[in-house]
Amino acid sequence: MGFVNNFFGRFSQDIGIDLGTANTLVYVRGKGVVINEPSVVAINKKTNEVLAIGKEAQRMVGKTPAHIVAIRPLRHGVISDFEVTEQMLSYFIQKVHEDGFHFLPRPRVVIGIPSSVTEVERRAVEEASLRAGARAVFLIEESMAAAIGSRLPIHEATGNIIVDIGGGTSEISVIALGGIVANRTLRIAGDELNENIIQYARNNFNMLIGERTAEEIKIRIGSATDTMEILEAPIRGRDLVTGLPKEVVMNGAQAKEAMQRSISIIVDAIRACIEETPPELLSDIIEQGIYLAGGGALLRGLADVITDATQIRTHITDDPLTAVVRGTGIVLEDIEAVQEVLLPSVHGSKIK
């Protein structure tokens, strides 16, 4: 059996997946990151038929008739809709294989998940992946994958701290000797910052704006600190008084004010995680610095705010959006050598 699996392993396109609340990224062994699409599925409620997945479905968010719904099947990094997640994973696995031969064996899959998930939630990810066409499934904590993808020396007896701010969760982990020493997982991340902007527009401009508009504002003018440059962007939505369309100009200071509380909670959690860290590891962390990964790492001035609050230099990893999926890819390249960083399999998927 081992021979058969090894033979298959040589030909199958093993893949690493960053199954994110906002975006799903797929890494194919030997090819790199081949898919980066929103974790959205559009479904026709009348026929229960999947109309679109990924970018196509994202375009439909907030713009669909009553019988078509655009679903995000993951909430806070956890599967909230099992069937839809399975269909989404199936779509991405098939998309990877469509340019290959039809007789290619099913792939082994490494998936990054938040470290706070329960065994039931882990089982859901494994089952959805197996039913979507995986031969074997291996799970890894997102922060561990982000540290590996950022090329941090996680197997050495030195302390590394990584902050992975995604769409649904922010994860702060201190890693040494291939294991997590201290960890904090928050359900405050990119989606919550969008929600803050929606709430701010409601309270201060008396207008209702959509999720996509809020995200565009966050990317264009969002900032964690006061900036010298003048940042402004028009926001369009519905006037809550008249019910008619309305446009106002929002500036960077207002966007910062909207997100201030959530950013403070993330910074406080980083400080709390550092306070839990053994003093021997702290000296390494002071030397190495804090590493930021995930889409939230791109928020203007966030690294400076964390540096000021912790007195530890904060760096943004190279290409923070793909750090987790690149980490799963590095694990795939030599899965036998790094098996201690993988979470135990609920289904008993074997490495070989």
Please tell me the predicted confidence (pLDDT) of residue 190: 93
- The predicted pLDDT at position 5 comes to 47
Q: In CATH, what number is assigned to the domain containing residue 249?
A: 3.90.640.10
> Is 203 in the same domain as 139?
no
Whether residue 235 sits in one domain with residue 194: yes
The pLDDT score that the predictor gives to residue 347 is 60
In a domain, 19, yes or no: yes
Reported as a single tens digit per residue, the pLDDT across 220-248 is 999 998 877 888 999 999 999 999 999 99
Say if residue 107 is in the same domain as residue 201. Answer: no
Annotated binding site: 21-23, 167-169, 215-218, 295-298
17 and 28 inside one domain:
yes
How many structural domains comprise the chain?
A: 3
- Is residue 311 domain-shared with residue 172, that is, in the same domain? yes
Secondary element (H or E) of residue 195: helix 190-205
For 310-322, b where at least 16 C-beta lie within 10 A, e where not — what string?
A: bebebebbeebbb
**CA–CA distance from 250 to each of 62, 168, 296 (Å)?**
22, 25, 20
Distance in angstroms (rounded) separating the CA atoms of residues 32 and 114: 22
Range of the domain at 158: 152-188+267-317
Residue 60 maps to a domain = no
> Same domain, yes or no, for 18 and 124?
yes
- Band the pLDDT of 263: cuts 50, 70, 90: very high
Residue 273 lies in a domain: yes
Q: Span 305-309, mean pLDDT? A: 95
Decide if 195 is inside a domain.
yes
Q: Are strands 74-75 and 78-79 parallel, antiparallel or unpaired?
A: antiparallel
Binding site for ATP: residue ranges? 21-23, 167-169, 215-218, 295-298
Specify the CATH number for the domain of residue 25.
3.30.420.40
pTM: 0.86
